[in-house]
């Protein structure tokens, strides 16, 4: 079965928590982990990727923690997942046709390429703000 890795899933949940609390100051990683029932240690491995992509900022000190570096509406899931996972391709030959001598004539590769395009289009259309809005609507929060 093809699926996102733990890094992709947990990183998205970390970013959702930061989006949900956007504008309320930095969050501690332990609070994010608690809210999402995740391992703080695992999140510590994801943070550098998100910082280097300029998705999050860190603040040291008594009121320190992590916060989004951009507004939630400016971060789409395709870009986020690409930072966490790399390119999304159901099979290797979609992004690297040179690995297979049949790439130019393979009809199955054409199907996988269409699937990759649709996944990317869908993820581009969803922002962290959309996730926050959906959450608030789902749980009737204001």
CA-to-CA dists, residue 18 to 102, 118, 121, 124, angstroms: 45, 27, 24, 19
pLDDT digits (tens, 9 = 90+) for 29-58: 999 999 999 999 999 999 999 999 999 999
Q: What six digits make up the tokens of 24?
A: 């309320």
Q: Does one domain contain both 121 and 133?
A: no
Q: Which range among 94-103, 119-128, 129-138 shows the weakest confidence by mean pLDDT?
A: 94-103
Considering the domain architecture, whether residues 23 and 54 belong to the same structural domain is answered as yes
Is there a single domain that holds both residue 48 and residue 107? no
Please name the residues in contact with 102: beta carbons below 8 A apart, sequence gap of 6 or more.
109
Domain that holds residue 90: 76-126
- Same-domain pairing of 58 and 99: no
Phi-psi category of 136—alpha, beta or left, where left has phi over 0 and alpha has psi -120 to 50? Answer: alpha
Per the listing, tokens 């395009």 go with 117
* Domain identity same for 60 and 106: no
Q: What's this model's pTM, rounded to 2 decimal places?
A: 0.92
Are residues 60 and 80 both part of a single domain? no
pLDDT tier at 141, thresholds 50, 70, 90? confident
Mean pLDDT calculated for residue range 130-137:
97
Same domain, 2 and 64: yes
Residue 1 above 60 pLDDT?
no
Beta strands (DSSP E) in the chain are 56-59, 65-68
What is the dihedral angle through the alpha carbons of 87, 92, 97, 103, rounded to the nearest 10 degrees?
-140
pLDDT of residue 88: 85
pLDDT tens profile 61-111: 888 999 999 999 999 999 999 999 998 888 999 999 999 999 999 999 999
Mean pLDDT of 103-120: 94
**Residue 123, token pair as written in the block:** 């993820």
Residue 134 belongs to a domain with what CATH number?
Answer: 1.10.10.10
3 state SS of 91 = coil
pLDDT for position 62: 84
DSSP assignment letter at 57: E
């Amino acid at each position: 079965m093809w699926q996102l890795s733990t890094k992709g899933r947990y990183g998205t949940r970390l970013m959702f928590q930061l989006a949900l609390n956007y504008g309320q100051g930095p969050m501690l990683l332990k609070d994010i982990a608690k809210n999402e029932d995740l391992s703080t240690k695992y999140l510590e491995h994801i943070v550098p990727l998100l910082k280097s992509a300029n998705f999050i900022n860190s603040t040291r000190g008594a009121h320190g923690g992590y916060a989004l570096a951009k507004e939630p509406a400016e971060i789409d899931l395709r870009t986020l997942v690409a930072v966490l996972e790399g390119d999304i391709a159901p099979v290797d030959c979609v992004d690297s046709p040179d690995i297979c001598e049949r790439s130019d004539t393979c009809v199955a590769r054409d199907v996988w390429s269409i699937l990759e395009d649709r996944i990317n289009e869908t993820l581009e259309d969803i922002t962290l703000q959309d996730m926050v809005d959906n959450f608030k609507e789902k749980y009737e929060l204001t």
